[in-house]
Structure 1
Amino acid sequence: MGREVGCGALRAAVLLAMVVAAVAAAPAASAAPALRIEPLTWNVIGLDHNDVSQGPNVFLVGARVCNTGDAAATGVSTAFVWDSDNPLVTLRGTPTLALGDLAPGQCADAYYDVAVARNPAARGTARGYHIEATGNGLGTVSTPRPRELFVQPILSQNRNDATAVTGPTEVVVGQTYQYETVAATSPQGFPQLEVFLDFPNTIFRILDVDVTYGAPSGATNDRIYADACGWESDPTSSDYLSCVGPPNYAGGRVGGTVTTVYTVQIVGTGTATMMQTILDISGGSYHYNADFNTATPGVEQITVTAVAPPDLAVAKTHTGDFTVGVPADYTITVSNAGSGPTLGALTVSDPLPSGLVPVAAAGAGWTCDVAGQDITCTTPGPLAAGASSAITVTVRPEAAAVPGVTNTVTVATPGDLDPDNDRASDPTTVRQLLPGLTVEKRAEPPGGQPVAPGAELTYTIVVTSAGQATAHDVVLTDPFPAGTTALAVTLDGVEVGDGAAALAAGLPLGDLTPGTARTVTARVRLDPAAAGTLRNVATATATGVVPVTGTVSHPIAVVAGGAPQLTLAKTASVAAAAPGDTVTFTITVANLGAATARQVALTDPTPAGLDYVPASTSRDGSAVADVADGRNPLADGLALGDLAPGQVVVVQQSLRVASAAPGAAIINLATITTADVDQPASTAVTIPITASGAPPPGQLPATGARDHPREALVIALCLLAFGVAMIEISSWPALRP
């Protein structure tokens, strides 16, 4: 007996080990979707108790499908299935609805339209049904069975009142819209209440329902049916069609002012007039809103037309290559490839690439605006299905567009079905047909060197075709400056008769192919009375190619009878300075030469360690205004103008020692420039100053105290030079008596 128990225990242990090993070796369960479905609507439908031609006969019947799994459910769809026969109760619209994909935890609603024949025999009948759902790779789930739709006799009730229905009356397939209804019931509400617009599911798919009730205060719902009391809808139950609880709203009643917002997607075309229906039970009888029979648009009903979406397409074309400077046209063609007309404005946007200058844009029925490089054209439409409309955009190519650009245009309108054909690009070749002339000019003696009156001067001018195409009808113009007499002009070594007049009026050089050049020389003699700086400019132009272009050489300047000679001197008002002291600098600019110095400018930025004293700058005793932001007017350069031979300009300004450390050297540099090529770019002079706030070494103050060996001495040294003031600042320790 004990042996049998031991074997049994061993077998059990082995079996347990095998189970544990199998469990450990088994792969982890993978994520999977799972569907659940529940009914959304009341099982009571009906016909008018007295006159079947009155009152509602179409009712929404729906279910909610949720993905309770942990993976997406794809290709979810629902189907309405009849479980019994009743020719007086039928389905209007499509029996299957595609809900798409559902993420984990996501739900979607499916509503169907059930119609009751306006036949007295329909009252008191029923028809069994269920709604089922499935998805890719999933089984089928169903609403509870058995269930049926029971046709109750319903009474018109004045206390139920549909007060408003709002929303768009023209819609486009594929778009999403919202509709709002407002209804009123008795203030205390009803045990069962259903308020709805009978959206046909061939045109509308109800995506969301958001309901608020006046009673109980703050009550809400996410479906059209409010089961306030806990309704029994199982036809096999002895409590069928009665309240069994528990209540879903406080007091088991709901109603008052009922506001419902529907979010719908348009899934098909057509026109539908939808009625607002209020259905309730109270005191053992069923009721509907009496104003259903006298429906007013915007109150109890709304008519909506759904059209197929437009599908705008755009194309952009041009003819041939574009040429720099020559206006050219693009043609933008907007067409409606959809099966419905546009319902809103059409907008064409054409941002031109760099190198294309917008000139004009126009099209029949279009309003076009140009802002910078952006062209925008709009039209209110509509553009019928299959129709097209054109816009012409005129541009002027510039050199920046060579060798080519790509111009892209877009079109937009509300409800456009396919955005992929709303953009078009047009690659464009742009040719540079301008001559691209260059002019090089030199003088002998070289520009800037003095030439004595009566001496000869030779100019050499080289005109080169540097473009990509032949420069046609090239003309060189170079009038000689006053104070000279022309001696000879040659073109490529061949003398040109009356060359001076020819150059002044324009000397024809003919056509220049790319890379070729022509050389013009001109000998002139300075007149005996010539003086100052002589300047002249050579200009080349080409005609026959649009547009005419000109290339100007750098100005050549020679000095007749001498040259300007600028000098610069700078002094400081003190030989020593300490932090907080003010130093006045005097800058003297003089022209010691024999010619006028043109466009002289003085620059003297404030060095670190010194602060500019506002309104302290003067020229020849007259105040010089500070820069707008209060800066030193010499910091960026003070224009002194032209200085005649012998003219002297004196500029003064004050700077305050601010942050110089003891022993620091502060260098204040002044610079002058002139437009004359014979002057250096700048010249400078320096004044080094060693300074302190103490008396110079030697005898101490009247106290008779003598120098202490450890006390520092400050030696102030003022060395006058040109253009730079150097200030050395030291501290003077306290003197011992």
Structure 2
Amino acid sequence: MSQSSGPLSHTLQNQSLVRFSSGATELVQVAYSNTVVTPWIGPRLEVHKICNVAEAALGQTLTYLIEIVNSGNCAAMVHVLDSLSSETSLLPNSVLLDGTPLPGVSPERGIPTQEVVPGATLRIHFQVIIVGLPPSLKLVNQAKIRYTFVTPEGRMVEGEEQSNVVEVNLVSSSLSLVLNADRVQTFVGDIVTYNLLVSNPGFIIGNDARVTIPLPKGIEFLPGSVIVNEIFVPETTPDSGIMIGEVLPEESVPIQFRVQVTGGSIAENLTIQAVLEYVSGDTLENVYSNVATLQIIQPRISIAKSVNPPIATPGDTVQYQITVHNEGSFAVDAIVTDFLPPGMRYVEGSLGWNGVKRLGTNPVKGINLGTLTARSVVNIQFEVHLTEQERGVPAVFELMNQARLIYTFRLPDSRSVQRIISSNTAVIQLKFPIISVHVEVKPDLIERGGNVTFHVHVTNTGSWPARVQLADVLPPGAKWIGEAEVRDRAIISEYSSPRFLHLGEMEPGAEKWVNYIAQISSTEQLGIQQGTVTAMYTYEWNGQRHSGQSISNVYTIIVEDGDE
């Protein structure tokens, strides 16, 4: 078979010959037939394979190129196969066909069938990473193609070709570093154990080896948890470097440390990668581990609380609303509690959620919401009665409280986690007056028929104005003989003996003083006389009238008989 003129014109030339001898002579003679020329039709495929380097180390990336040249005169459908060495791993999505990416394609499973026309060249690139060292310290690789073509008569012809063998020599001085966590899924607050394995698969000692693991935001190292070769190293931290020292050939050094997932503004995935530094001969080498990823499982649950009305007075009834929102994709089991502060009393039977009353349910004892599915909302309403504040204790003008949500969710690895979150603070501003009255008498020792001056001090230390009048202003049997002057008010006439002293409206923080004179002359009043002054007040809130009273301190008058 020979090639005629032109690279794509092919012929097969054939000629027969006969060797013979005649009786007249012993010489051998040759007779040639005519030459028969047969056209040759078909693809002529050549497969060439090359690597970008001839020498490599553990962890290095190799780029392979496969070229398929068709020097025949017929197109062929070509399917390329390349069985990779077990010591290499294909880099995902690294396969290129004539410069065009082929996502998800692997040469081991085969490159999608391509047509190679006469005179064309098909180029396939792909990359692998060296993950192990074979005993021979050589990576041997060869590509193979299977092809088909159709003859002019319509026959389907199949064939197979192999590329040249590509060898890459491996340098055995590189140490390897593998990193993994004891779990893939985690949650905020979880404790995770990381394990590293430093290995020397070669024949050269690695000196002054040190591993550094920078920790990202959201992960906090647990002090004292580093273990090297089953020995605790409490002063060492991953980010400052874990000293290993000498790593002998075929030796492995295990390292372990623990961290806590601390939360904050963290992403759904947390990744870390370790770096190994060591000296090989006189050269400082760096080796990076694989990337270890933690998936953060964090349900997006929120709880908000509001009150209506936000301004009230003791005796009013207000309504609380609590909204629980599951914004994430994980279902949770939830319980809401709401501990009411002093000054509030839950209105029995008022609680419900999503428009349905839940008789017998109490927010203080807990509201079991059951399972909250993904992207669900629960609206809770209940009422409380604002009780009157007790006398003798400091006044409270704000009632504040928060709702609390306890929810439980399950991780994909079957662990259950319980979390507690609180709502915002709901505030009720209380508006009511606090009227106080204090009385002094001078002198407190008199003879029968003598006069006593009363000095009365009235204050409003509350947060709302009130109309105030004084009652019980005279001891029993006493006579009103003096003038009483109420500041900013008219003078009460002598001997009018008023039943009430009207002080008018007192704003919050206001004070008023009242002075008047009484005569103690009855024989029944001899001895010790005691009494109090009562401040009676009224105020209006939201169109309703409220009233109250405040009793002063006890005053004492000693009355003696002047005839003795």
The two structures share one fold, judged by TM-score above 0.5: no
Q: Which structure's relative contact order is higher, taking Cα pairs within 8 Å and 6+ residues apart?
A: 2
TM-score class, shorter-chain normalisation, is 0.3 to 0.5
Structure with bigger helix share is: 1
TM-score by length of 1: 0.32
Structure with bigger strand share is: 2
